[in-house]
Structure 1
Amino acid sequence: MTQTGQRSTDPQDYQGLPQAIGAMSKRFTDGHVIPVHCHQRDQLLYAASGIMRLQTERRAWVVPPDGAICIPGGTDHTVRMFGPVDMRTLYIDAASVRERPRPLCVIAVSSLLRELILALSEEPMVYEPESRAAQIARLIEIEIAVARELALHVPLPTDPRLQTLCAALMADPSDSRTLDHWSQVSGASARTLARLFDQDLGIGFTEWRQRVRFQSAIESLSRGNPVSIVARNHGYSSPSAFSSAFRKVMGIAPSDVAAD
């Protein structure tokens, strides 16, 4: 453990902190992958810059600018960076905070929550109960509790027939083949595939494919690709149609995640 006032970039040093919330700052290069791991404490992952993709055994999320992902303690996950990522991680003792912990989800980060996260990251790693840092941490608790959830996750299948289909679509989100076409590849009828999507993934085929496309689109936009190119590469005939659908599903505009 580092001394009070000093900062560590080792997550293990944050699991036994005396206060409810600890803030770690760490930078990663484009393409860096943090392998499968978990932590004792809950986490809030936020990127001051860059895009993160987090995956568990059953779901995948993309975390855009002005978004953060809540990860309950003990959840195995990997993280991949798109662009240089200036990450802020809050390690939260769920038993010590007053607000009810969030489930695994991406939340919208308000301007206030962003500034609070950045401010706590500048405070000492260990702080006193009545200190400025402690007051900032309490406000962070409140802001996380009221933050709006963003529908950015993609459920992943367990059924082998769906795994073949889903892996192909994640590799090529622009693929526009229907379930009738996929039935010839997967060995199951279109009706069976539709039922499996509802039962195994909880959403229909069209919605699942759209989420995959938009996750991939966010990653592409973060690398500086024009909206017109991203739209075409993800199965949309026009940038306006893509932008409208993107905003409706993701709650943000493509320009909100485009690289500067």
Structure 2
Amino acid sequence: MKHSIDILRTARPVMALQDEYPAGFVDPMHSHDHVQILYASSGVMSVRTPETSFVIPPQRAVWMPAGMKHEVACRGPVSLRTLYLPSGHDGQGTECRVFEVSNLLKALILEIVDFPPLYDVTGREGRIIDLLIEEIERMPNAPYQVSMPTDPRLLRVCNAILADPADPRDIDDWAALAAMGRRTFTRSFKEETGMGLAVWRQQVRLMEALSLLAAGASITQVTYDVGYDSPSGFAAMFRRAFGVPPSKYLRN
């Protein structure tokens, strides 16, 4: 496998790398000159930008615009497949996009990773690249991401919840952590994130639940890991969000 600095010098419409990362690996805030697509064929990643936080199980991928600062953290061992496109490729816009990965798209990504660096853009490889781009563009956005505040006091609260979605502290505790009065904290949080703290935390818990379920955790384990008191309460919340119970989601 060529090192990324060599791969990115090749004049090809898509360049691909594969890497294996251990549990707990963190790639701190950085950016690339190229558009980047992050896809874990196995394992679960957390991806953060200054504005947004995502959880990425193997059924999803992230479109990262050129120049966008981001951090990647591995929940467990991760088999990462990364695609690089020229910075001028704006087919998905200038914002991060988390999208679903179909079986076809997964197969295309895994096939392209094995292409030689100077693959034939006019032959079979080039046609597969064209199909890859077409398939990415038709993939629907994945639900459940959270906006991150810019106020460092609010950011302190959000980072604590992201680190432990089951944290039981109430709104008065979080306001105290932010060194803000309850009313000011409530108003500021909604202004910066577009939602109240309770809804924001539920979104985080749903993201974490999807991550844990994708990693093979039992429904009972997920229930307590994301802060619910009983599997029935967790299942009811999950059904309201996704329209199916977690057991059926797993089968699908």
TM interval, short-chain normalised: 0.7 to 0.9
Match of 1:3 in 2: none
Sequence identity of aligned pairs in percent? 35
- Shift of residue 93 of structure 1? 1.5
CA RMSD of aligned residues (A): 2.8
Deviations 1:53-73 (A, max 9, x none): 112223221101210011001
Checking the alignment, whether the CA contact within 8 Å between 1:51 and 1:81 is kept in structure 2 is yes
Deviations 1:155-198 (A, max 9, x none): 22222442343233234322344434544444433332222122
Match of 2:117 in 1: 125
Q: After superposing the two structures, state which structure 1 stretch, 152-161 or 195-204, moved more.
A: 152-161
Checking the alignment, whether the CA contact within 8 Å between 2:63 and 2:92 is kept in structure 1 is no
Alignment of 1:16-55 (within 5 A): 16-55=9-48
The alignment status of 1:158 with 2:150, answered yes or no, reads yes
Partners of 1:135 and 1:79 lie apart in 2 by 31
* Shift in alpha-carbon separation, 1:183–1:84, aligned structure 2, 3 A: closer
Alignment of 1:139-154 (within 5 A): 139-154=131-146
Checking the alignment, whether the CA contact within 8 Å between 1:165 and 1:182 is kept in structure 2 is yes
Partners of 1:64 and 1:256 lie apart in 2 by 17
Match of 2:187 in 1: 195
| Matched letter for residue 144 of structure 1 | I
Checking the alignment, whether the CA contact within 8 Å between 2:44 and 2:215 is kept in structure 1 is no
TM-score where L is the length of structure 1: 0.83
* Shift in alpha-carbon separation, 1:238–1:102, aligned structure 2, 3 A: farther
| Matched letter for residue 136 of structure 1 | I
* Shift in alpha-carbon separation, 1:188–1:32, aligned structure 2, 3 A: closer
The alignment status of 1:108 with 2:107, answered yes or no, reads no
Deviations 1:69-110 (A, max 9, x none): 11001112221112221111110114357x444630211001
Partners of 2:143 and 2:129 lie apart in 1 by 26
Match of 2:80 in 1: 87
- Shift of residue 223 of structure 1? 5.4
Match of 1:4 in 2: none
Partners of 1:257 and 1:89 lie apart in 2 by 27
Partners of 2:94 and 2:103 lie apart in 1 by 19
| Matched letter for residue 24 of structure 1 | L
Alignment of 1:230-249 (within 5 A): 230-246=222-238, 249=241
The SS at the match of 2:66 is: coil
Match of 1:229 among 221, 239, 242: 221
Segments of 5+ residues of structure 1 without an aligned counterpart are 1-6
The SS at the match of 2:44 is: strand
Q: How many residues align?
A: 250
- Shift of residue 51 of structure 1? 0.7
- Shift of residue 138 of structure 1? 0.7
TM-score where L is the length of structure 2: 0.85
Checking the alignment, whether the CA contact within 8 Å between 1:70 and 1:102 is kept in structure 2 is no
Checking the alignment, whether the CA contact within 8 Å between 2:35 and 2:89 is kept in structure 1 is no
- Shift of residue 203 of structure 1? 2.1
The SS at the match of 1:149 is: coil
Checking the alignment, whether the CA contact within 8 Å between 1:35 and 1:79 is kept in structure 2 is yes
The SS at the match of 2:125 is: helix
The SS at the match of 1:150 is: coil
Deviations 1:31-66 (A, max 9, x none): 222233221110111111111111222322110121
| Matched letter for residue 88 of structure 1 | R
* Shift in alpha-carbon separation, 1:184–1:80, aligned structure 2, 3 A: closer
